[in-house]
Amino acid sequence: MGARIARVLLGLFALGAVGAAVAAALLYLALQRGLPDLQSLADYRPALTSVVLDRNGLPIGEFYEFRRRMIPLEQVPKPVIQAFLAAEDDAFYEHSGVDYVSILRAAWSNLRGDRLQGASTITQQTVKQLLLSPERTYTRKLRELILARRLEQRFTKDEILFLYLNEIYFGSGAYGIAEAARTYFGKEVGALTVAEAALLAGMPKAPGRFSPHVNPERAERRRLWVVDRMLEEGFIDEATHQSAQTPPTIVAAVSETYKAAAYFTENVRRRLVALLGNDVVLHGGLVIETTLDVRLQREAVLALRRGLEAYDERHGYRGPLRRVDARALAAELEKLGEENQLAAGIDPTTSPLGPPRLGLVTGVSKQADEARVAFAPGVEARLALSEPKWAKLAENLAVGDVEHFHVSSAESGALVASLHQQPEVQGALLAIDLAGDDVLALVGGYDFTASELDRATQSLRQPGSAFKPIVYAAAVGHGKTPASIVWDRPVVYDNFRPENYSRKFLGALTLAEALARSVNNAAVHLLEEVGIGAVIDTARALGIRSELEPALGLALGASPVTLLELTRAYAVLGAGGRQVEPRIVRRVLDREGQVLLENVPLDEHAGKSEAPPAPEDANPEPDPVLVSAAAPTLPEGQALPATQAYLATSLLRAPIEHAAGTGHAVAALGRPLAGKTGTTNDHTDAWFVGYSPEIATGVWVGFDQNKLLGKGETGGRAALPIWLEFMRSALASLPARDFEAPAGIVFARIDGRTGALATPASESTLFQAFVEGSEPKEAADATASADDSRRELELGF
């Protein structure tokens, strides 16, 4: 009987075993049905970050949907690999894709109610990242186990580790170890220390929780755990373990260089998307070699910011961003701590480009001449009320005020705050290398994060007197010389009555003197004499494509242009009349290193048909002398005859070299320079555009809403100081050299009033260039020159 029962039980057990086996087989067949093909991993080509480099190979930006860089496994140092093995899978090189011992250990720990543990191997994590959805179900887990085994059969351990390290997510938008190293430490993988590798190895488990940008304290605890695990596994010795206890330095989420170059790189992105498509730019892993000079770009940003801040300070303190009731100070401080991303401390920045922080005024003592400013609970700085003087903080600051401040450390270690008032006025700066047409620096506004409008390329603004050099360039191309006389006298043209800034009239002036003093009436008279059509044609030749109204107001810059157009026009003159097409990209390489594009221009209209010429009726009755002096046909690549461009440059030196010139402050650089201020009649736009033999730079200052800049805010006051500060830095390492005169040019010192050769009695003299044979031959009349000198001499604008 007993034997029979045993046989029945044995039969039932066998039947159950067979059933279980059949069920398992059916389940296995069901699970493997529709499993992803591993061939996709063999052809692994993930979306890669496109990297933007400056002219010297320094990173200045990135384009991506998913930020990832690929790195071969052989370029990953052994300690970095060991950190990941210690943190994620110490038996990686022993198991066959699934670590059953770890699974049982984790299951037992979870059943006992201990902290939930995972048991996924690096192989399983690779499968989960690349082949399966993120859903957390038993079915998905079983499919993961099957695929892990298959992956181990298809690929070597090193190939799997390569896929893993390039695919995993590290938080802050960084995918893959190479991108993570740049994101958190600003370096390549090969330069990572053990301490840095341990921090990165601790992140894939929960990137949000263990990110040093989000949870620095939790990230540090996790990092120390990984360092301990590396010691336990014998990957490092005790000495290395001790040295790795010191927390590594984490770089900012967005580097200063990226911020400084933001307007430039956005121009690069727009141009490449138009040429290659959005998908290629964001996913293609391109290497984009640009023309930007990081050092000059930084100087450009600083010069523009300081200039706009100086303007802002001249117009006083506008008051706090907001004022908080005294009963709500504690709550406001908690909110500021979150906004500033501060915990128990603050990392003060001394960088001029460092971002200001929101601070709350918690105490004001006029007797002690100081206020207390808090940035988070327990984080406080001292603010001197006497500085800055322009803000009059002793009168204007009160407890509860929330404002922006810069923070630095005093010698004692205490924090010191300084007021930062974000300017409402805007500006732009563009610098072009005259030798190769490279855009060296481009800043489109005070702060890209606050406004992405690029005022260097996207804003049409009236150039004011900065357009006058184009009128003068047209004149010398049509028979006029720097010694030709133009009249500054009152006249009315069909309800248009030009006036000088000083409301004075100076009578007869040479072209050189008239441009140096920026005399409005003289420019209008010259435009009328040369012809509006001739001036528009010259503007087109110089690269101005915007619509130009064929009216006398054109002489005073009534037709809006972009800073790019105007700076390019001056650059053509500085380049000897050669056509200038500013470029921003030297070449673009795909992920295999093949060249996709070369010499990408900044102007999206480059190479397209030019704007139409001026209408025939834009010219008055032609002057036979001017017609006979028309320029001959030019060789390819030449916008103006070299002699015409050089004469224009010679004229443009006068506003700087002439003691009464509107740009005379620039003479402080002590080297040959040409340039012109510009201010619109209603004081809404201020300009200074100029060039050395090496670099052409343009600066614009104004309000986006066309508000008035204010009385006295001319190009010489609002824009010129920015230009001067930038060019001082840009030219500092270059030896001073003169503009090279083309064949057929001679020089003469002329009387600025009469245009004749200067004499010792001449009160105003200018050294000017002439086409050989057109220079004055007779000396100025001493009596006439002396009489002229007694007339009221006022600056234009």
Question: What's the pLDDT tens digit per position in 349-407?
Answer: 546 666 788 999 999 999 999 999 998 888 889 999 998 899 999 999 999 999 999 88
CATH code: domain of residue 100: 1.10.3810.10
Residue 634: half-sphere exposure toward Cβ, Cα within 13 Å? 18
Residue 297 lies in a domain: no
Q: Are residues 571 and 684 in the same domain?
A: yes
Q: Where are the alpha helices (DSSP H) in 585-733?
A: 624-628, 642-657, 720-731
Tokens found for residue 316: 């006083």
Q: Are residues 392 and 531 in the same domain?
A: no
- What per-residue confidence (pLDDT) applies to 131? 62
Q: Are residues 400 and 433 in the same domain?
A: no
Tokens found for residue 485: 């006389």
428, containing H or E segment: strand 426-433
- What per-residue confidence (pLDDT) applies to 507? 83
Residue 175 lies in a domain: yes
Residue 3 lies in a domain: no
The band of 328, judged by pLDDT with boundaries at 50, 70 and 90, is confident
Q: Is the pLDDT of residue 611 over 70?
A: no
Residues 133, 23 contacting (CB under 8 angstroms)? no
Higher-scoring residue by pLDDT: 186, 30: 186
The band of 616, judged by pLDDT with boundaries at 50, 70 and 90, is low
Query: How far is residue 223's CA from residue 245's CA, in Å, rounded to a whole number?
Result: 9
Q: Which residues pair with 677 in a beta bridge?
A: 688
Owning domain of residue 779:
745-789
Residue 358 lies in a domain: yes
- What per-residue confidence (pLDDT) applies to 604? 85
CATH code: domain of residue 332: 2.40.50.140
> What mean pLDDT do residues 162-182 have?
92
Highest-pLDDT range among 3-7, 196-200, 214-218: 196-200
Q: Are residues 404 and 431 in the same domain?
A: no
88 is catalytic: yes
Q: Is the pLDDT of residue 788 over 90?
A: no
Residue 50 lies in a domain: no
Count the Cβ atoms, other than its own, within 10 Å of residue 321.
12
SS (H, E, C) 507-550: EEEEHHHHHHCCCHHHHHHHHHHHCHHHHHHHHHHCCCCCCCCC
Q: Is the pLDDT of residue 135 over 70?
A: no
Residue 38 lies in a domain: no
- Rg (the chain; Cα; Å): 35
Tokens found for residue 554: 């054109």
Residue 28 lies in a domain: no
Q: Which residues pair with 426 in a beta bridge?
A: 702
Residue 296: half-sphere exposure toward Cβ, Cα within 13 Å? 27
Q: Is the pLDDT of residue 242 over 90?
A: yes
Of 62, 88, 179, 513, the active-site residue reads 88
Q: Are residues 408 and 433 in the same domain?
A: no
Q: Are residues 762 and 703 in the same domain?
A: no
Q: State how many domains the chain has.
A: 4
- Residue closest to 494 by CA, chosen among 555, 559, 552: 552
Higher-scoring residue by pLDDT: 147, 562: 562
Q: For the chain, how long is the longest CA-to-CA vector?
A: 149
Point out the domain boundary residue: 385, 420, 455.
Answer: 420
Residues 288, 593 contacting (CB under 8 angstroms)? no
pLDDT per position as a tens digit, 331-363: 888 888 777 755 334 454 546 666 788 999 999
Q: Is the pLDDT of residue 104 over 70?
A: no
- What per-residue confidence (pLDDT) applies to 554? 95
Distance of CA 72 to the CA centre of its chain: 31
- What per-residue confidence (pLDDT) applies to 488? 81
Highest-pLDDT range among 111-125, 187-201, 344-358: 187-201
Higher-scoring residue by pLDDT: 251, 625: 251
Point out the domain boundary residue: 420, 443, 463.
Answer: 420
Q: What is the DSSP string of 269-294?
A: HHHHHHHH-HHHHHHB--EEEE---H
Q: Are residues 561 and 432 in the same domain?
A: yes
Higher-scoring residue by pLDDT: 408, 784: 408
- What per-residue confidence (pLDDT) applies to 629? 43
Amino acid letter, residue 575 = A
CATH code: domain of residue 487: 3.40.710.10
> What mean pLDDT do residues 621-637 have?
57
Count the Cβ atoms, other than its own, within 10 Å of residue 418.
15
The pLDDT mean for the chain works out to 85
- What per-residue confidence (pLDDT) applies to 303? 98
Residue 84 lies in a domain: yes
Q: Are residues 676 and 535 in the same domain?
A: yes
Q: Is the pLDDT of residue 490 over 60?
A: yes
Q: Is the pLDDT of residue 637 over 80?
A: yes
pLDDT per position as a tens digit, 270-294: 999 999 999 999 999 999 999 999 9
Q: Are residues 445 and 463 in the same domain?
A: yes
pLDDT per position as a tens digit, 146-160: 777 888 888 899 998
Q: Are residues 383 and 437 in the same domain?
A: no
- What per-residue confidence (pLDDT) applies to 123? 85
Query: How far is residue 480's CA from residue 618's CA, in Å, rounded to a whole number?
Result: 20
Q: Are residues 233 and 380 in the same domain?
A: no
94 is catalytic: no
> What mean pLDDT do residues 431-457 have?
97
- What per-residue confidence (pLDDT) applies to 100? 64
Point out the domain boundary residue: 369, 392, 420.
Answer: 420
Q: Is the pLDDT of residue 630 over 50?
A: no
- What per-residue confidence (pLDDT) applies to 622? 43
Q: Are residues 115 and 193 in the same domain?
A: yes
> What mean pLDDT do residues 421-439 have?
97
- Residue closest to 510 by CA, chosen among 765, 715, 796: 765
Higher-scoring residue by pLDDT: 641, 96: 641
Residues 77, 192 contacting (CB under 8 angstroms)? yes
Instruction: Read off the DSSP letter of residue 717.
Output: I
- What per-residue confidence (pLDDT) applies to 737? 96
Query: How far is residue 201's CA from residue 759's CA, in Å, rounded to a whole number?
Result: 81
- What per-residue confidence (pLDDT) applies to 646? 97
Go through the chain and tell me how many residues it has: 797
Higher-scoring residue by pLDDT: 104, 306: 306
Of 50, 102, 465, 484, the active-site residue reads 465
pLDDT per position as a tens digit, 45-81: 888 999 999 999 999 999 998 889 899 999 999 999 9
Question: 4-8, 102-106, 688-692: which has the minimum mean pLDDT?
Answer: 102-106
